[in-house]
Amino acid sequence: MTSDAQSPLVTFVGADTGAWQIERMSVLAGEPIGEAKRLDIQRGVSGPVSCSWALRGAVSHVRYTTREESSNLNAVQPPLGRVEAVCGALIPIRKSAAWWALAQDERRAIYEERSHHTRIGLEYLPRIARKLHHSRDLGEPFDFLTWFEFAPEHAPAFNDLLVRLRDSEEWRYVDREIDIRVRLVG
Ligand code: HEM
């Protein structure tokens, strides 16, 4: 593997080795993926590895965030890699053809005006650190790879956040979702 800290490309690898131990995998919608013991997060262009699955995404620009929301997020969002944040969640998500058939303004209206994704999410910051990776344009099986880090005492809050988001209009367009919980083992 070549590792390049500056690259927008990230590969989440489910295998026998990796810094994160996979504690459980729940399929919320659609097809499952294979079992794996560990999760390894590789930056840059990865070479072939022996693994159960390798999911690729790229850090990209925001699509729906307004200037005001961006300022609000920047004021409170924590970085990844905090020492106390030993709990992680990788949640790969695919949205339906109906979602992608909508225009940008219609998607924004569902995402924020009607589902309040950013407004709800902001309530959980700075407890939860997050990173969104886009996969759709890479021809991957999921559209997004969402990654979260938090301290063990904030796991209940994270679960509460998930209940609220999954209950929203936006989530009616989610047709594949797997919730992979991991713990840092070094
Ligand atoms: C921790 C609090 C959270 C905050 C502050 C937050 C914030 C955001 C923001 C600002 C965006 C929009 C980026 C853009 O403008 O393109 C976004 C997108 C997204 N978030 Fe969250 N989020 C949070 C939690 C979550 C959770 C728990 C999930 C998954 C279960 C999730 C899944 C997604 C997905 C899939 C997108 C892409 C939506 C799309 O482009 O259609 N988010 N989030």
| Residue owning the nearest CA to atom 18 of ligand 1 | 132
Q: What is the pLDDT of residue 45?
A: 73
Q: Mean pLDDT over residues 127-138, rounded? A: 98
Give the distance (Å) from ligand 1 centre to CA of residue 50.
Answer: 31
- Please write the tens of the pLDDT for every residue from 32-55: 999 999 999 999 877 677 999 999
pLDDT of residue 138 exceeding 60, the answer is yes
| Residue owning the nearest CA to atom 23 of ligand 1 | 121
| Residue 128 CB–ligand 1 contact under 6 Å | yes
Mutate to test the pocket of ligand 1, among 76, 146, 166 (most ligand atoms within 8 A of CB): 146
Nearest atom (ligand 1) to Cα of 144:
35
Give the distance (Å) from ligand 1 centre to CA of residue 6.
Answer: 22
Q: Which two tokens stand for residue 5?
A: 């800290």
Q: What is the pLDDT of residue 1?
A: 44
CB count in 10 Å sphere of residue 50: 8
pTM for this prediction: 0.97
The pLDDT confidence band at residue 72, using thresholds 50, 70 and 90, is very high
Q: What is the residue-averaged pLDDT of the chain?
A: 95
Residues of the chain above pLDDT 70, percent = 96
**What span, in angstroms and rounded, lies between the C-alpha atoms of 78 and 129?**
5
| Residue 72 CB–ligand 1 contact under 6 Å | no
Which amino acid does the sequence have at 107?
R
For 95-102, which contacts have Cβ atoms below 8 Å and span 24 or more sequence positions? Answer: 95/143, 95/144, 95/173, 95/174, 95/175, 96/173, 96/174, 96/175, 98/173, 99/173
| Residue 118 CB–ligand 1 contact under 6 Å | yes
